Amino acid sequence: MTKTTNVHGYYRFTDIIFEWSQALPHIDEWSPLKALLSFNALVSPDHPLRKEGVDGIELYLGTFANGEMRLLFSSAQVEYMRYWLHAMQLTPRSIPIPSSDVLLQAGDFMTCSTVVYNNPDTLKRAVKTIDKNNRKLKNATLLTARRLAFEKIRTLWAARAGTWMALDFEAWDHDHTLLTEFGWSLVRFEGGTELAESGHLVVKEHRGYFNTYVTWPDRRDFYNFGKSEDVDKRTFKQRIRDLIAEHCAKGPLFLIFHDNSQDIKYLRSKMVQAISHVEFLLPDTMPADGTYVVDTSDMFSALEGNDTVDRRGLERMCHILQLEPKNMHNAGNDAHYTLLAFREMASGDPVDVQREKRWPNRTSTHNPKVEFTRKEEGSDVSDLEGIFPGGADSDDDDDDDFGDAPHANQVVAN
């Protein structure tokens, strides 16, 4: 039998697991449904909801506007389970579906993405973690927005489409309109196949300009992932413009930055002029085209539970994620590690599950932010990096031209 894939709405996981059977009018229907909904049965390869090619039970994670999350079954899954029980003669009749009063619509959520569980203990922990973190988010504001963006990014990245390009510029610290380097690292999906590309450009005319105000040494000749190219200013501009235009023409382009404010100014500056319009609000589903901004500093703030304007610097974040960064503040290296950090977070579990897996028992109801040791942050990282609003990797701060769901006890069968 082939189960339907149409989704007309969602039911809360806990409502279905704990309340649906209790609301059935006939006692002889209780046990078969409860057996089908046990944690062990749900993750079994033989469960009727198991999809071919998916290693576990595929559920949904919906995020409300206030940042609270709910683990969900789709209405199609619920309808199929009642059909399957009767078709297999495990119930004498088709059991009633839960009341429409507890049916949630896609519009009730800011984001809704799929999640997969293949272990009963993992599924149980997920339910507890979601509940625990919902209590933490009652008064969240900035953190809520970051969490929403994090889950949108996970959903979009899982679609395996479009181009995901991390970019970084380096500029002379005496004059931020004088660019010295550009680096990029990208992943592009074509028919499900993942293609990678990276590079590092150095402006020949600006090789004599060295920073004096910043605390880190010059690293333009220490590109870790290939050969740097020395190009003149005109070629520098054209190469960046062509790079952006090429991937814009191929479909949706996601530009990945670590603190995007300055790099976007550079992309729009007279020295580059590579973009005119970008979208800062990410779509809920994979778009056909458009250019969108993804920021790993916001992603990491969501992951660590940070609700302040301060953000981690790129190098410190990479140390915490155990990416072993080397020769930072080279534009090519910074772009590469930005993409690595992005993939590390976007490919992982939902934000709360991922945080607990990475740093178990490091948060509490009163303190949702993970506190890291100096060793975790990288003892060789400057004490100044990552403590200023907007992140330490910002080159300057100029403004130049450059509803709550229904309660479980409301579940009643129609």
- Using a pLDDT cut of 70, give the percent of the chain over it: 88
Please state which CATH number belongs to domain 163-377: 3.30.420.10
Q: Residue 246: its pLDDT value, please?
A: 96
Mean pLDDT of the chain: 85
Q: Lowest-pLDDT range, 71-80, 107-116, 162-171, 215-224?
A: 107-116
Per-residue pLDDT of 207-264, as tens digits, reads 988 888 776 778 999 999 999 999 999 999 999 999 999 999 999 999 999 988 789 8
Chain center to CA of 110: 14
CB 135 within 8 A of CB 141: no
Q: Residue 196: its pLDDT value, please?
A: 97
- DSSP for 359-387, please give it: STT---SS--SPPPPHHHH-TTS-TTTT-
Question: In the structure, what pLDDT confidence band is assigned to residue 382 with cuts at 50, 70 and 90?
Answer: low
Q: Residue 164: its pLDDT value, please?
A: 98
Chain center to CA of 33: 35
Full-model pTM: 0.71
206 CB neighbour count, 10 Å cutoff: 18
The CA radius of gyration of the chain, in Å to the nearest whole number, is 24
Q: Which of 54, 41, 139, 143 is nearest to 85 (CA)?
A: 41
Residue ranges covered by each domain of the chain? 10-138, 163-377
Q: Lowest-pLDDT range, 34-38, 120-124, 167-171?
A: 120-124
| Cα dihedral 283→288→292→295 (10° resolution) | 70
Torsion sign over Cα 157, 160, 163, 167:
positive
Largest CA distance in the chain: 84
CB 74 within 8 A of CB 7: yes
Question: In the structure, what pLDDT confidence band is assigned to residue 347 with cuts at 50, 70 and 90?
Answer: very high
**Pairing between strand 111-117 and 229-231?**
unpaired
Mean pLDDT for 328-347 is 97
Cα 387 to Cα 381: distance, rounded to the nearest angstrom: 12
Q: Residue 410: its pLDDT value, please?
A: 42
Per-residue pLDDT of 160-216, as tens digits, reads 999 999 999 999 888 888 999 999 999 999 987 999 999 999 999 999 888 887 767
Q: Residue 349: its pLDDT value, please?
A: 93
Question: In the structure, what pLDDT confidence band is assigned to residue 138 with cuts at 50, 70 and 90?
Answer: low
Q: Residue 68: its pLDDT value, please?
A: 82
Residue 413 has pLDDT above 50, yes or no: no
